Structure 1
Amino acid sequence: MKMKPPVQKNEYYNVTFEDLTHEGAGVAKIEGFPVFVPNALPDEQGKIKVTRVKKGFAFGRLMELTKESQHRQDAPCPIYKQCGGCQIQHMSYEGQLLFKQKQVKDVLERIGKLDMSRVKVHPVLGMEDPWNYRNKAQVPVGEREGGLVAGFYQQRTHEIIDMEKCLIQQSENDEVVQAVKDICNAFGIKAYNEERHKGWLRHVMVRYGIATGEMMVVFVTRTADFPQKQQVIEQIIARLPHVRSIVQNVNSKKINVIFGDETTVLWGEEYIYDMIGDIKFAISARSFYQVNPTQTKVLYD
């Protein structure tokens, strides 16, 4: 006999949140039935509206908080609630480190079947500054009101949230993305439309060598042609002196995978370089390689 879920779509419930999913959604249980709710934290209480009911779980929307977690904070990013790039900026960094430690414990116990009374999981080592650390930006491009937008997708949609800066990206990456967007706008370049499989520019990717300051711009396009190619390249070189490489990758398929099979260097070098300690890396559009003292390369996927 099938058991009927104890919740119904569009109904409201008062709940206590017990945990977080690996994607950062709060977990509440109603008669043992899990409901996943974005923007909620463990130990919080509030009212939710159930938005979708599946066989073994449901999804909900947080309508009101009646008790807040000690780790709740205002998200620093101004577009956090719209953008789907981050999930737990509303949790303090201390709380995030504790959450990650708990994730490791839970996996070792649930999947590894280890006796956690005999296994010690050490606290997670955090960063002095947990912002502006990513050295690679992969940004989808779209159009709105006749102009290009570049940002990340809104959660559970393919609607691009236009952004000027991303707090987890190196600020240099943000500057390059904005400059490339402005240059492409000025030359009338059209963004790819995934519904109609028309248009040209799908993504802009930027790679940044933190130790060297070298940068690479990658255009991911639907077709191999490049409208106003020479003018666009000249503008990038003039406005962005740290750019050492401009590359085009062609993805003609109607899929969500970013890269296609064809990659061409349009200007500059195939690689930029970066250092981690004494180890030097050569970084291409899609891979990076360790460069040892004899200049041979070992591929790292």
Structure 2
Amino acid sequence: MKPVTKNDRLSVYVEDLTHDGAGVAKVEGYPLFIKDALPGETVTVHVLKTLKSYGFAKLISIEEKSVDRIDAPCPVFEICGGCQLQHLSYAGQLKYKEKVVRDAMARLGKLPDVPVHPVKGMDNPWRYRNKSQIPFGMDDGRVVAGFYQPRSHRIADTDICLIQTPEADTLMASLKRNLQDMGIEPYEEKTHRGMLRHVVLRKGRVTGELMVVLVTKKQKFPQAERAVEAIRAALPDVTSIMQNVNGDKTNVIFGNDTINLWGKDIIEDRIGDVRFEISARSFYQVNPEQTEVLYGQALDYAGLTGSETVIDAYCGIGTISLFLAQRAKFVMGVEIVPQAIEDAKRNADLNGFTNTLFEAGPAEEVIPRWYKDGKEADVLVVDPPRKGCDEALLQTMLEQKPQRIVYVSCNPATLARDLRILEDGGYRTQEVQPVDMFPQTTHVECVAWLTR
């Protein structure tokens, strides 16, 4: 028998936050998830839905506020899905993220004694995103742009976003004003009609170079010249204007074909002393300031003296590999996406590194072949996607037995799961350092250091 029913009105105490930032209160052990409620608060809620093991409730009023509650500065915070924690002070956000990592280590990894350090945060946790992906659409006859509402593809219309660059705000507002005058129809996902799907802006944090990518449904784009003029008028310092074509019925942003409309094909940026060329579709960390902190931590944990061979098992365009190559004897990077490997080779040449090797393919196939050919690693670095390491790669790591593993993770849950597997296979997790790459959101990245 559930202790609450739909439409109940209750006063509850909020104990915790979920992974997506909802408050958690318990009624006789039954969890209620409450959007916008914070730990330490006593709140009145209206029960919206009850399932077998948990329910959802709407926040009606706050009887006792958390000391960490602040007024969210963004005008569309309540309806936008981009941020979840603007109503929580930044100090409170860092405490919450440290707890998320500690809980994952203890509960999922069965590693309660592994040292988890306080989260390395930002001095200014705003305007940090160097890449904005802005959907455009129509609403009641007017052009709208902004970011998607939670768990939907409805656009939360806005002219500003406080975690993206001011240039992205300028571009978004300008195109919204001028799109209809230019005869460009925003794309409609349900009907698959319209031309302009997304506008992507990328900025080099160190160089200041700007790239704008117009993602269109068709390659034939009669208004391209007028669009270029409008973008250059809004952003006089723009470096590159590209068109990417995506004609598929999909919510994936980019298609396969990219065309230069004006300026350079790439922009350049630096992380620390390493230069990177960034194309329209290149993967590049969206918070370069904290990326330098994250990769610096990975470099420290690698413990390089100049005599080591390192394998980077999810190397992407070579960002971590080239950071490591500054101190390693030799670095070998493997990545399943061939285009990323071409980018990695180009970035190695750009920086004059001659101590790197990059190969496209599944890491769990390429790495054993390298070992068979005598290319053994002292240090193995992994930076997998949110789902964590491939099971076959974990087995490969245990078979090849590198002395030291550095695990860079964007998901504490899968990190803890994989650390447990590596521990059971003969490794020990020395420590975990969380880094706040995405302030105002629930995401937290970690670097873990393991030794045999």
TM-score by length of 2: 0.62
CA contact (8 A) 2:35 2:58 kept: yes
Match of 1:22 in 2: 19
CA contact (8 A) 1:105 1:121 kept: yes
Alignment of 1:37-52 (within 5 A): 37-52=34-49
Q: In structure 1, which of residues 263, 277, 294 is the aligned counterpart of residue 352 of structure 2?
A: 294
**CA 1:47–1:273 in 2, change beyond 3 Å: closer, same or farther?**
same
SS at match of 2:239: strand
C-alpha distance in structure 1 between counterparts of 2:66 and 2:263, whole Å: 51
AA of the residue aligned to 1:8: T
Structure of greater relative contact order (alpha carbons < 8 Å, 6+ residues apart): 2
Match of 2:257 in 1: 262
SS at match of 2:226: helix
CA contact (8 A) 2:130 2:164 kept: yes
Match of 1:122 in 2: 117
C-alpha distance in structure 2 between counterparts of 1:47 and 1:16, whole Å: 9
SS at match of 2:172: helix
Displacement of 1:87:
0.8
Q: In structure 1, which of residues 205, 229, 233 is the aligned counterpart of residue 224 of structure 2?
A: 229
Q: In structure 2, which of residues 131, 135, 147 is the aligned counterpart of residue 140 of structure 1?
A: 135
Alignment of 1:107-256 (within 5 A): 107-114=104-111, 116=112, 118-256=113-251
Q: In structure 2, which of residues 58, 63, 66 is the aligned counterpart of residue 66 of structure 1?
A: 63
Match of 2:330 in 1: none
**CA 1:295–1:202 in 2, change beyond 3 Å: closer, same or farther?**
farther
Higher strand share: 1
CA contact (8 A) 2:11 2:43 kept: yes
Displacement of 1:295:
8.1
Give every structure 1 segment of 4 or more consecutive aligned residues whose post-TM-superposition deviation is greater than 6 Å. Answer: 295-301
Match of 2:87 in 1: 90
CA RMSD of aligned residues (A): 2.2
SS at match of 2:180: helix
SS at match of 1:41: coil
TM-score by length of 1: 0.91
CA contact (8 A) 2:105 2:114 kept: no
C-alpha distance in structure 2 between counterparts of 1:222 and 1:53, whole Å: 42
SS at match of 1:185: coil
Displacement of 1:245:
1.5
Matched, 1:54 2:112: no
AA of the residue aligned to 1:11: D
Q: Which runs of 5+ in 2 are unaligned?
A: 285-316, 319-346, 361-382, 386-452
Displacement of 1:60:
1.3
| Deviation per residue, 1:251-299 (Å, 9 max, x gap) | 2222222222332222222210011121111111111545243389979
Displacement of 1:56:
2.0
Q: Which runs of 5+ in 1 are unaligned?
A: none
CA contact (8 A) 1:177 1:206 kept: no
Match of 1:283 in 2: 278
C-alpha distance in structure 2 between counterparts of 1:181 and 1:20, whole Å: 36
Count the aligned residue pairs. Answer: 296
AA of the residue aligned to 1:236: I
Higher helix share: 2
C-alpha distance in structure 2 between counterparts of 1:183 and 1:94, whole Å: 41
| Deviation per residue, 1:116-160 (Å, 9 max, x gap) | 2x3322111211111111100011111134332110122233321
AA of the residue aligned to 2:128: Y
C-alpha distance in structure 1 between counterparts of 2:185 and 2:151, whole Å: 24
| Deviation per residue, 1:1-26 (Å, 9 max, x gap) | xxx43322222222111100111110
CA contact (8 A) 2:170 2:234 kept: no
